[in-house]
Structure 1
Amino acid sequence: MKITVVGSGGWGTALALLLVENGHDVTLWSHTPAKAVALEETRENPMLKGVPLPPEMKFTADLGAVKGCGAVVMATPSYAVRETAHKLRGIIDPGTVVISVSKGIEKDSSLRLSQVIEEELEGKCPVVVLSGPSHAEEVGRHIPTGVVAAADNLKDAELVQDLFMNPRFRVYTSDDRIGTEICAALKNVIALCAGCTDGMGCGDNTKALLMTRGLAEMARLGVALGGRKETFTGLAGVGDLIVTCTSMHSRNRRYGILIGQGKSVQDALEEIGAVVEGYYAAANARSLAQKVGVEMPISQAAYEVLYNGRDVHAVVSDLMSRAKRSELDESPALLFLQEK
C-alpha cells in the first residue's frame, strides 16, 4: 500500500521504518524542506541515532504526497494536528484511512486529536488511533513492542493491524477510541509527575502510589467521556503508563525530574530541547475535567506547578493530606472485575 507518514520526529520515523519493512511504499513528510533533504542525504534521523533509514524510504516536504495513498499516518506534535489536518483537507482522497499517533488534547476546544482530524477533514476519512507502550527509540531498534489500534469501526482498526503487525510489533484492535486517546494524553501528565518525584528524591513507594492513583483519575475522566474501564487496564492505559513513568526515554519523565530538582518550568523545557506533551496536556486535561465535572487531583497538582508556579514539595504535601476515602470506589481494575 502507498502510505505517507506526516511528521518526521522519532515516532513518525520509527513507524515509517516498520511500514517499509512490511513491504509498503512509504514517504516520510517533514515540516521543512531542509529536514527532508537532510534525512535523504544522511539516511539517519538525529532523534533515532544509529538507526539507518532504508533506501526504499522516500522523503518530502510536500503534503501533496498524501494524494493517492491508502493510508496516512498523522505523527505531528499535538499542537500542530489541526493546522496540518486543515492543510490536508483539499488534498487527501476521501476514504483514505488516517492513523492518528499523536498524543494529547487540543487546547481551548478540549477535543481529542482524532476529533480534531475528523473536524478538519469534514468526516471524509475514517480515523484510527494507534497507541500503547512504544518508545520510538526501541521500535527503531527492533525491540518487541505491543500497541492498540482503536477505531469506531473495527474493520478500520483491523486494516491498521494488518499494515503494522509483524513478528516484532504486535497490534491489538479495539473499538474504544475515546478511552484509548484519553489514556494516551493523560499518561504523559502522570509521567511528568513521576519524574518530579524522582527529581525530589522520593522512592519506589511514591512512584507506585502516583501511578496507581494516576490511573484511577485517568479512568474517571475516560469513563465520564464515554470510554470503557477495561481500556485503562490494557496496553493503552496501564501499559503506556508504566513505560512512560519508568523510562529515561520519556521526555515527560525527564522534564519532571528537572523540575523536581529545582529547575524552573521554562529552563527545564529548554534543557529537554524537544516537545514535552505532558506540559500541554496538564492544562488541557484540567480544562476537560472541569467541563465534565471530574475530580483529578494529580493533574490539577501538575497544573499548579507548571502554570501557577507552585512548589513541588508543597503540592506533594497537599496531595498526601487529602481527605480520607475508599480505594474501591474508583479503581479501574476492580470496577472492571465487578462488571464481569
Structure 2
Amino acid sequence: MTGHVAVLGAGSWGSAFAKILADAGRDVTIWARRERVAEAIRTTRTNPEYLPGLRLPDRVDATSDAGEAISGAEVVVLAVPSQTLRTNLAGWTDFLAPDSTLVSLMKGIELSTTKRMSEVIVAAAGVAPDRVVVVSGPNLAPEIALEQPAATVVACTDVSRATLVQRSITTPYFRPYTNDDVIGCELGGAVKNVIALAYGMACAMGLGDNTRAMLITRGLAETARLGVALGADPLTFAGLAGMGDLVGTCSSPLSRNRTFGEHLGRGETLEQAQTATRQTAEGVKSCLAIRDLARAHAVEMPITEQVERVCHEGVDPRVAMAALMSRTTKPE
C-alpha cells in the first residue's frame, strides 16, 4: 500500500488508530466533525478532548472536510458512533475510490435494522462485502496510544485484503492477527459492551469476584450462542475478538461501558449516567438491537435482556440481578 489513509472520526480510538497507522509508516488524514478539534491536531499535534497529553506523529494531518480526507484514500477507516454510521456514509460515499478498503472500528448493532456495522457499510455505501475489513479485540485506546503492547483481529472475507491492512497497522507495540470470520468478530465486539455494562453494575453494587467471573463467562456463552445462530465460527469467541475483548472491556476502568454501568449500579438514571460519563457507551443503545436480534433467532441472552431492562425500562439493577439468579437451573 502506498496511498494515504483517511480516518473518519477523531474520538479516542480513531485518534489512537491514526497514530498506529502513522507509526507503521502511513500518511494519515483524520476527519473531525468539529473544526476546533481538527485545528488542534494540525497546530498542536494533540487531540486534547480525547487523548490529552499525547503527541500525534507528524504523518498525521486533520481536517473537518470529509471530502478532503477521503479523496484519493486507499484505505478509509470508519470510527464514528455506530448509530450515526449510515447517516454519515450517505454524505461520504461519492468520495470513495473504486477499490478502496473500508475499515470498521465500530462495535455496535444498528438499532433500526439489527445489522452489524459491516452490513451497514455494504448497504449504505453500495460496496461488495469483501471490501470491508473489521478491526476488533481488546482495543482500549489510551493504553494503545501510550504504546503499551496490545493485539487485535483484522477480519475480512477477502483474506488478502485483511493481510494488507494487517501490514499497515503492525508496529512494535501493536500486533494484528487476520481472521475470515467477520460475523464472529463483530458480534464479539458488540455484545461485550452490553456485558461490560452488567459488570460495571455489579462492581458498583459491591459484588465480588465470583459474580464478576460469572458475568464474563456466561456473557461469553450467550455471545457465542448468538454468533453460532448467525453463522459465526464458535472458536472466534475464544480469541481476541471474543474473550480478549470481553475481559478487557469488563475489567478496565478505562472502559466506557463498564464505567457507565457503574453509574447505573449506584442508582443513577440513564440520563444522569450519560451526563456524568460525557462519552458514548455503545452498549446502551446496542442492547436493544442485540436483544431483538436474539429474539428473532430464538437465542436466549439473559444478561442482555436484564441490561436492556435496566437501561430502558428503569428496572433496579438489584432486581435485574435477582432475576438472573432465579432462572430455571439447567446443564452448562
Same fold (TM over 0.5): yes
In the TM superposition, what are the counterparts of 1:80-119 in structure 2 within 5 Å? Answer: 80-119=84-123
Separation in structure 2 between the aligned mates of residue 268 and residue 204 of structure 1, nearest angstrom: 24
Q: Which residue of 2 aligns with 1:54?
A: 57
Check whether the contact 2:191–2:290 (CA below 8 A) recurs between aligned residues.
yes
**Matched residue of 1:41: which SS?**
helix
1:319 and 2:327 matched:
no
Separation in structure 2 between the aligned mates of residue 59 and residue 69 of structure 1, nearest angstrom: 14
Q: Which residue of 2 aligns with 1:18?
A: 20
Q: Which residue of 1 aligns with 2:287?
A: 282
Displacement after TM superposition at 1:152 (Å): 0.8
Q: Which residue of 2 aligns with 1:157?
A: 162
In the TM superposition, what are the counterparts of 1:67-78 in structure 2 within 5 Å? Answer: 67-78=71-82
Q: Which residue of 2 aligns with 1:211?
A: 216
Structure 2 letter corresponding to 1:39: I
Displacement after TM superposition at 1:174 (Å): 0.4
Displacement after TM superposition at 1:233 (Å): 0.4
Displacement after TM superposition at 1:163 (Å): 0.6
Structure 1 letter corresponding to 2:39: V
Q: Which residue of 1 aligns with 2:255?
A: 250
Structure 2 letter corresponding to 1:308: E
Q: Which residue of 2 aligns with 1:123?
A: 127
**Matched residue of 1:252: which SS?**
helix
**Matched residue of 1:323: which SS?**
coil
**Matched residue of 1:4: which SS?**
strand
Deviation string 1:190-244 (CA, Å, 9 cap, x unpaired) is 0010000000010010000011000000001111011110000000000000000
In the TM superposition, what are the counterparts of 1:180-329 in structure 2 within 5 Å? Answer: 180-327=185-332
**Matched residue of 1:180: which SS?**
helix
Percent identity between matched residues is 42
**Matched residue of 2:7: which SS?**
strand
Separation in structure 1 between the aligned mates of residue 38 and residue 52 of structure 2, nearest angstrom: 16
Separation in structure 2 between the aligned mates of residue 257 and residue 264 of structure 1, nearest angstrom: 11
Q: Which residue of 1 aligns with 2:34?
A: 32
For normalisation by structure 1, the TM-score amounts to 0.94
Structure 1 moving runs of 4+ over 4 Å: none
Aligned length: 327
Check whether the contact 2:6–2:28 (CA below 8 A) recurs between aligned residues.
yes
1:66 and 2:70 matched:
yes
Q: Which residue of 1 aligns with 2:5?
A: 3
